[in-house]
Amino acid sequence: MKVSLIQSLIGEAIKFTNYLRDNPLFCYIWCMLVKCILLILFFAVMIGVGIYCRRTASDVMGFVLGGRNVGSWLTAFAFGTSYFSAVIFVGYAGQFGWKYGLAATWIGIGNALIGSLLAWRILGRRTRLMTQHLQSATMPDFFGKRFFSNELKVAASIIVFVFLIPYTASLYNGLSRLFSMAFDVDYVWCVVGMAVLTGIYVLVGGYMATAVNDFIQGMIMLVGICAVIASVLSGNGGFSSAVESLSQVPSESAPGLNGAFVSFLGPQPIYLLGVVLLTSLGTWGLPQMVGKFYAIRNEAAIRKGTFISTFFAIIVAGGCYFLGGFGRLYGRSIEYTAAGTPVYDSIVPSMLATLPDLMIGVVIILVLSASMSTLSSLVLTSGSTLTLDIIDPALAKMRRGGRMNDRSQLLCIRLLVLFFIIVSSVLAIVQAKSSVTFIAQLMGISWGALAGAFLAPFLYGLYWKRTTSASVWASFITGVGVMCCCMYCISAGKTFISPYFTSPINAGVLAMLLGLAVVPAVSILSRVGRKEEVEGMFGCYNSVVTVRAADSLSEEAERQG
């Protein structure tokens, strides 16, 4: 009797479940509920971390650099999540996956090996030692103290201020289509929600809250990108079937190459190289990226962070571009301009639109994580740079030496962080309604100008005593000048140098390479000032430290071995 009753109850439960599953209204409500729960949990964790970390943000050094006591895992994830944002996941992955097919994966590999591994190996230790010796908390402050020029510090701060704002604004755009697809929410509310949430935990918890949240967001990105790739490939019949379908798509740029989009280097290898160089080598000159090395705790953290950061980049960047390489399979469902060219920002959202609702919820959290981590890093960099390198010295000059106290500096940084969030939000909304529709274009211009101006003098400044302030000025002028000329030509519909360099990506590469050539050339022709003080700076690399025998063998132990 009891068995038959249980069987009857199970049967009724199955019928009721099938009824609900076939009911469109219930399915819609259930799916929206799942997505909203995921978002609420995400928001609660981010704000909770900000409140928890408020103790570390009680002074300027704690707010800006976490007291230079951030461990390897937090620093590595902060580096990676600041590197890869919604611009990468939605804009770049869609655009370059469409243009180069599976060969776009080389961009992710370059990001891992050049942008992460080599950046940590070449810049990490020296940046930490030199900036601590100079007591500099920002990249402009490094230029000012390393080259004994307050004017250089101010110029670098202005470049950061001008070119980080459009970069920051570009982060919001990747969310608009995904939120519209998942929640049918207007783009304006997406921007406002993301700005408010980021502002809360950055203003309350400072760098440490950003680093901890970056770690959480990075874990979400790692799991999310793997799940999304598996779902997209499954929806196309598996990896082999998807590659076979992609091999049959003809290429407009290389019509004689069969299977261009599954070939080793793709249909346009020269253009692909430009993207690899800008997105990989360019990180060496971005203040929000290099700033992560200022805050790392010690040598052991640098060694471990190098491995973690490289692994993160391989999975996230390699996965994003690999996913974008299958964009051509969705050519019938994406949006096109009046001229018949694809709207690149619509490619990845179109690929994701067919995923299960739970997976779409995961994607929303993934892109939110990618965007907010980069946004928090950018606004913190901008606010601290403007306060410490422009406002405070200007007030000191007006007051004849009376600088702002620590509390006033902290308040000013927080106000400027809020200002940057508001300005970038407004710019993102205005930009969305203007003729500039590709989020990769804004990022390319900003990235090219910053890397073109800063990469060479920062790198040479760490390694070469002969680097002069005149060469730094030359690099600033060259990098910013190249990108401004490129912007003008784009807006005027003209060709910059050649069709190849009309692209902001390739113009950014030109700016970086010119800087690497200009700095040593001008340094050789100009005079080095304060040689004894420069020798003292580089003496920080030769200071003697004591380590445990378990970490490093002594010379006697090595001889006996």
Domain for residue 240, yes or no? yes
Domain for residue 520, yes or no? yes
CA atoms within 13 A on the CB side of 520: 8
Enumerate residue ranges in the chain where pLDDT < 70: 1-31, 35, 67-68, 86, 173-185, 357-358, 398-403, 431-443, 543-561
Domain for residue 387, yes or no? yes
Summarised one tens digit per residue, pLDDT across range 83-121 is 877 677 777 888 898 899 999 999 999 999 999 999 999
For tokens 């390479």, what's the residue? 513
Read off the amino acid at residue 371. Answer: S
Q: How many structural domains is the chain composed of?
A: 1
Domain for residue 419, yes or no? yes
Phi, psi of 206 (to 5 degrees): 65, -150
Per-residue pLDDT, 512: 93
Per-residue pLDDT, 13: 52
Decide: 62 and 380 in contact? Cβ < 8 Å. no
Summarised one tens digit per residue, pLDDT across range 355-364 is 776 677 777 7
Task: Write b or e for each residue in 464-475: b if 16 or more Cβ atoms lie within 10 A of its Cβ, otherwise e.
Answer: eeebbbbbbbbb
Decide: 275 and 440 in contact? Cβ < 8 Å. no
CA–CA gap between residue 364 and residue 179 (Å, rounded):
7
User: 30 is in which domain, residue-wise?
Assistant: 12-432+439-540
Domain for residue 3, yes or no? no
CA–CA gap between residue 377 and residue 354 (Å, rounded):
33
Read off the amino acid at residue 362. Answer: V
Question: How many residues are given for the chain?
Answer: 561
Instruction: Assign residue 310 the CATH number of its domain.
Output: 1.20.1730.10
Domain for residue 476, yes or no? yes
CA–CA gap between residue 452 and residue 395 (Å, rounded):
30
What does the H/E/C string look like for 237-274?
A: CCHHHHHHHHHCCCCCCCCCCCCHHHCCCCCCHHHHHH
Task: Show the tokens assigned to 349.
Answer: 């959202």
Burial class (CB in 10 A: 0-12, 13-18, 19+), 30: middle
Domain for residue 477, yes or no? yes
Per-residue pLDDT, 103: 92
Residues 6+ positions from 28 with CB-CB distance below 8 Å: none
Per-residue pLDDT, 554: 43
Domain for residue 204, yes or no? yes
Distances in whole angstroms, Cα of residue 59 to Cα of each of 65, 67, 396, 406, 410:
10, 9, 19, 6, 7
